[in-house]
Amino acid sequence: MNAFKELGLEDHLVQAITDLGFETPSEVQEKTIPLLLDEDRDLVALAQTGTGKTAAFGFPMLQKIDINSRTTQGLILSPTRELCLQITNEMKLYGKHCKGLNVTAIYGGASITDQANQVKRGAQIIVATPGRMKDMISRRLVDISKIEYAVLDEADEMLNMGFFEDITEILSYTPEEKSTWLFSATMPKEVSLIAKKFMDSPTEVTVGHKNMGSKNVSHEYFVVGARDRYQALKRLADANPEIFSVIFCRTKRDTQKVAEQLIEDGYNAGALHGDLSQNQRDVVMKSFRAKQIQMLVATDVAARGIDVDDITHVINYQLPDEIEIYTHRSGRTGRAGKTGISMVIASKSEVRKIKSIERIIQKEFIKKEVPNGMEICEVQLKALASKIHDTEINQEIEPYLNDINSLFEDVTKDELIKKFFSAEFTRFFNYYKKSKDLKSQSGSTSDDNYRSDNNSARFFINIGSKDGYDWMKLKDFLRDTLQLNQDDLYKVDVKDSFAFFNTDAAHKDKVLEFFTDFKQDGRFINVEVTEKKSRDRNRGGGGGGRRSGGEGGYGGGRGRGRNDRSKGSSSGFKSESRGRRSDSDSSSSRSPRRSSDFKPSGGGDFSRARKSRR
């Protein structure tokens, strides 16, 4: 008998499961579906995203509601619009053989009238984000007084996002006797509290251990000098040509900068953070899903609800402050039965934190070295070789072959292979041949390995380590005295008797004005605008002003087959080439992912045309 049928699901639902290609129930499905079908009860299920939990609550809900009635009977609350839409789509797929089923998504940023009209047509199930749901209730556009099943999905995320009061209010409009099913990846106090407040002796189901990450994810860390973080990131990407990853940064500024830098260096990257408009975020997510973006650089908040199944790597560009956040980050990979790797780029001082994460997730991290240049060259060469081997021959080159053949008349197959691969190999080889190994010894603990920014101002200040400041203390001092935010100050570089720091150009006047005639302990503190280059002087390499526009990787990109390229627009911001920048990895100033020498100059159009023909 079909394994899903054995769980108690009816034939039309089992048919949908077969159509979807699910063969065996996941652990959370095995544990919850029979319980929920058996009798109406409250349930708390601890399960990561990607474990199949939507189906775990979705199928029982579909089986239990009355499709012939137009009353709203099921309500699913989810933290983000993204997740809300995903659940809605999944529910529609699960219920594709339920004639007359109407699942409606209610979320902010779209027309409330359209959503109200859909509800009016008779939505048996509403999937909603708390903010818009509350709004709809207060305008009497929905009626949830006859709800029989309420799901709180990703409850920990909803509470993290401050939805406690909204949830409380929404649930107050639902009947007491409904069943409530709460799903959460982690079990912080707040979630237990909500379970106590809204549920009646809930049955507890745990998939894996509490707060423990997916068993399909392995964890690795790379100790590097803080200034080498960005170079390490690039190498990790170069050493994994098929990477499809989310890269987590701590602040919006870092997220934007890392993404911009990656784009400029020829990677298929995009940024996802709260300073982008909803529309920009949608564009980025669309490109990411289509795999036009291989490296999505995101903040924790913006990455909530990213439900993309085949992410190969999560890279912690910086570790999060809270260990629970690490569990969420790493849970973005290793989904739907696939394996994944969660990598941490750590400075020496962060190793202790890794040890405490190990204790919580009950898994050991593997300590690894950042691949050296030659290892990367080898990986890239092999990846190119198998790509060429698997390339389908385009018959349209036929008319040109005569000319090409005569050009190569004096070249043997062996030589031809060597020449062909040398043309590409040399690019990576030249870039990496003199590069140093990235280990933890390099000096600074400041985290700003990006080039200077045209929109920022660099300042000189006449206090330094002699005065008891390290970069953190100076940053704190400046932030407090200038009343700036954490993100507003960066590139703080402390020398013996002076230091440098950056702010956005918009704060320039404020900084200068503030420090005019400023005295501390009887001493004048002098702040001046300085040249941006100062901190890069003692660094290796450094590219001249280069324009973005090349294609990345060997052989003109490595867009995992479907789409080869995404540039600029998909990231929701414009990537600009800037002046001199530090680049400790490049013996040649050119990133190996920049345009191949023999590519047609209109590369962008060429790849667009290719895409549209498909």
Q: What is the binding site for ligand AMP (CB under 6 A)?
A: 22, 25-26, 29, 49-55, 307, 309, 335-337
Burial class (CB within 10 angstroms; exposed 0-12, middle 13-18, buried 19+) of 356: exposed
Closest distance of CB 515 from ligand AMP, Å: 52
Q: Rounded to the nearest whole angstrom, what is the least distance from the CB of residue 86 to ligand AMP in the complex?
A: 7
Spell out the residues 6+ positions from residue 446 whose beta carbon is closer than 8 angstroms to its own: 226, 227, 471, 491, 492, 493
Closest CA to 342 of 236, 472, 192: 236
The nearer residue to ligand AMP, 19 or 242, going by C-beta atoms, is 19
| Rg (alpha carbons) of the chain, rounded to whole number | 27
Half-sphere exposure of 364 (CA within 13 A, CB side): 3
**Residue linked to tokens 């908040």:** 301
Comparison of 57 and 163: residue with beta carbon closer to ligand AMP: 57
Nearest approach in angstroms of CB 235 to ligand AMP is 31
**Residue closer to ligand AMP (CB basis): 54 or 449:** 54
CB of 1 to ligand AMP, least distance (A): 16
Report the candidate in 582, 558, 502 with the shortest Cα–Cα distance to residue 229: 582
Name the residue nearer to ligand AMP (CB basis): 328 or 558: 328
Instruction: Give the C-alpha separation, 366 to 184, whole Å.
Output: 27
State which residue, 327 or 456, has the beta carbon closest to ligand AMP: 327
Nearer to ligand AMP, 22 or 317 (CB): 22
Residue 580 and residue 602: Cα distance in Å, rounded? 26
Residue 457 neighbours by CB under 8 Å, 6+ apart: 502, 503, 504, 505, 507, 508, 511, 529
Closer to ligand AMP at the Cβ: 205 or 319? 205
Compute the least distance from the CB of residue 370 to ligand AMP, in Å: 32
* Contacts of 486 by beta carbon, 8 Å cutoff, 6+ apart: 251, 479
Report, in Å, the least distance between residue 77 CB and ligand AMP. Answer: 15
Residue 159, CB-side half-sphere exposure with 13 Å CA sphere: 19
- One-letter amino acid at 371 equals P
Q: How far is the CB of 561 from ligand AMP (least distance, A)?
A: 20
Closest to ligand AMP by CB, 87 or 263: 87
Whole-number Cα distances in Å, 159 to 201, 532, 611:
21, 42, 42
- Minimum CB separation from ligand AMP for residue 51, in Å? 5
Three-class secondary structure of residue 489 per DSSP: strand
Residues 4 and 25: beta-carbon distance below 8 Å: yes
